[in-house]
Structure 1
């Protein structure tokens, strides 16, 4: 994969949420042009943008289209540490009643949702 671009309504709020999460996962902020930001990890980069072409409206992960992004997130302890901090950074834990095995008994992961409704899966190695 070369890059992923995520369009958002509120770049200030989304920028804070994604900045915290992506930095926790080892990405670094590579570019910031006011209505968008790009975080890099090796040759892969992730863009969060609220440019003039964005049609307003909250993302709905259950509609046809992108459901979620899944990231390698380190050890189980590292996944647990992100979950412990996620609410303070605008993310909420999905499937809390089945966490950390919402993906099955052999799949240790956290499923988080951003303030704009984007889901990420953080998979323990």
Structure 2
């Protein structure tokens, strides 16, 4: 389980902002941004703050926005734990916001599957 806590502060001008606590050391903790279980290699920045916390910014990838629900997940790369997520709804399906929840559940299930597989590999190596 991750010792990191990521708290959303705001979203403005297409940039999601948050504060990361629980990180130690001078090196930015490795975070991953994913969409539909695909890791996105750009758009996420982590910068130190004067109070010992870290400022996290995610530029929403416009090329990923489309009709339906688009869920973005921020995870701790080291542990695979979900730290935060946000979703966009667009198009005709807005009245059915349960889709956002289902999409988030799918992303979390994909992360659980990866964590379980990693656990199986690690415990198999110990035997």
Same fold, judged at TM 0.5 (above): no
> Could you say which structure has the greater relative contact order, defined with CA pairs below 8 angstroms and 6 or more residues apart?
1
TM-score by length of 2: 0.29
Question: Which has the greater radius of gyration?
Answer: 2
TM-score by length of 1: 0.30
When you count strand as a share of all residues, which structure comes out higher?
Answer: 2
